[in-house]
Structure 1
């Protein structure tokens, strides 16, 4: 089995930790593969052949990058925190070998996290359309552009029209992403066992617009209206879709495979919620 290391290359301590971990793994007879520095090699593809475990060394952003590398392949990911928050990670630098040893031994809890399959449609300068498909572990976000103009759009779920909304945007998240952008926009914290999608309007121009949760097999569709010619952008896990072009519509459904996050126990999620969002030092 090969182990893929995904460090945050902007943090020397994370790269140093990955080097120490690589030396230990190789001493145990485990083949190590490194993900490249995406800032230096943005178009390089990571080879996953033979990889049975992915180790993320950084914060939650690094773990999201590891998830984008794996996508729907369901290769287990274990996160070691070298970041500011570490909500999705399960250990720190002092537990480097201990955590990875447990992952290799198969003694850690495997949390299956629902993913998103995103299909966004854009208009090119020549008037033609193209569709871009994206993976996401956290969310799909529709946002306004740099001018800050209000966006008008229709929201439907599995063919049922919900409402025509006006506001700053809309977030469709997984339960994992419920503690990210969706939470900042006023959505609920949702347990990972929930496999539906959390839909949250962002600063809607209506007191009636509310967040709601779909069924696991629903499809959420967002269609930009012709009511306002406002700049609008789509993002998947904070990464831009469509190379800055204006989005026309997007459909979001549950992805064909889960992300498998390794943690210490089935209670790890609630401990993290208590520690991060309620400040309980006992967690």
Structure 2
């Protein structure tokens, strides 16, 4: 078996967990490939100075013969990891060493206890849909930064370098919907419905639904409310601003676009697969992370 390991940072208190993980892999003849930046972070610790693992540094090196990718961190780590996973179909095992963890559902203690079941894929594989973005003028995926134009959580349009609102004309399947006068607009997947969209009043949608959510950010019109649409529909956005540029965010990645650049958003042609303990653990995660049921009457 061949696996990939990824992280964005690492704390000394998590060394025992990683040591047990590496020991299990060694004893079971599992090949470990570590992402280069994470390898450099680990090498700064005395316990890992003599690490001798092959490394990978870009998505082209993650071939389909990898069985799993393990991410150590939180949800942000998984969002960053999908720029490496892309359409390879490699399942992600999110080990939560961070805080909230809607996506990274394996607590580090539980992860060690159930490591044998994980490697034998005894758990449920949950497909998660993504958003795909095209622009009318600039192809943001061909510049020198190779901006990854897919999003697992959300695409966000925000005003830039101005305190004034922007206006966003929205079309659904070429039919005019409305003009949002707001600080911005969030297009969210069910996965992202517990993120930025939720904090702006959007609904929570379980990940097995086939929907997108359109959520305005601080709208000036009191009748502007979040809208749920089918993920088979295509979204077209035109942005009007007093300044030349607006900000575009895709998960953890941020760039600026000229206001003449129109956006075309639709469902991506592939899924990201997350390994989780059971099919219905999403609702358990909601209860724990959002403190539902904390009222003593429950």
TM range (shorter): 0.7 to 0.9
Displacement of 1:230 after TM fit? 5.8
Verify the 8 A CA contact 1:7 1:18 in the aligned structure 2: no
Q: Given the two structures, how large is their TM-score scaled by the length of structure 1?
A: 0.87
Verify the 8 A CA contact 2:8 2:38 in the aligned structure 1: no
List aligned pairs for 1:55-94, cutoff 5 A.
Answer: 55-94=70-109
RMSD over aligned Cα atoms: 2.5
Q: Given the two structures, how large is their TM-score scaled by the length of structure 2?
A: 0.83
Matched, 1:246 2:258: yes
Verify the 8 A CA contact 1:68 1:136 in the aligned structure 2: no
Displacement of 1:246 after TM fit? 3.2
Q: How many residues align?
A: 272
Runs of 5+ consecutive residues of structure 1 not aligned to the other structure:
122-128
Displacement of 1:35 after TM fit? 1.5
Which residue of structure 2 aligns with residue 215 of structure 1?
Answer: 230
What is the rounded CA distance, in whole Å, between the counterparts of 2:164 and 2:38 in structure 1? Answer: 32
Verify the 8 A CA contact 2:17 2:112 in the aligned structure 1: no
Runs of 5+ consecutive residues of structure 2 not aligned to the other structure:
42-56, 142-148
Verify the 8 A CA contact 2:186 2:215 in the aligned structure 1: yes
Which residue of structure 2 aligns with residue 264 of structure 1?
Answer: 277
List aligned pairs for 1:1-283, cutoff 5 A.
Answer: 1-14=1-14, 17-37=17-37, 44-46=57-59, 47-49=61-63, 50-121=65-136, 129-133=137-141, 134-225=149-240, 228-229=242-243, 231-241=245-255, 244-247=256-259, 248-280=261-293
Q: What secondary structure, in the 3-state scheme, does the structure 2 residue paired with 1:132 have?
A: coil
Given the superposition, is the C-alpha separation of residues 150 and 10 from structure 1 closer, same or farther in structure 2, using an over 3 Å criterion?
farther
Verify the 8 A CA contact 1:9 1:15 in the aligned structure 2: no
Deviates more, 1:207-216 or 1:142-151: 142-151
Given the superposition, is the C-alpha separation of residues 218 and 15 from structure 1 closer, same or farther in structure 2, using an over 3 Å criterion?
farther
Displacement of 1:165 after TM fit? 1.4
Structure having the higher Rg: 2
What is the rounded CA distance, in whole Å, between the counterparts of 1:250 and 1:198 in structure 2? Answer: 16
Displacement of 1:266 after TM fit? 1.5
What is the rounded CA distance, in whole Å, between the counterparts of 2:158 and 2:92 in structure 1? Answer: 30
What is the rounded CA distance, in whole Å, between the counterparts of 1:51 and 1:131 in structure 2? Answer: 30
Deviates more, 1:186-195 or 1:64-73: 64-73
Displacement of 1:228 after TM fit? 3.3
Q: What secondary structure, in the 3-state scheme, does the structure 2 residue paired with 1:37 have?
A: helix
Which residue of structure 2 aligns with residue 124 of structure 1?
Answer: none
Verify the 8 A CA contact 2:6 2:38 in the aligned structure 1: no
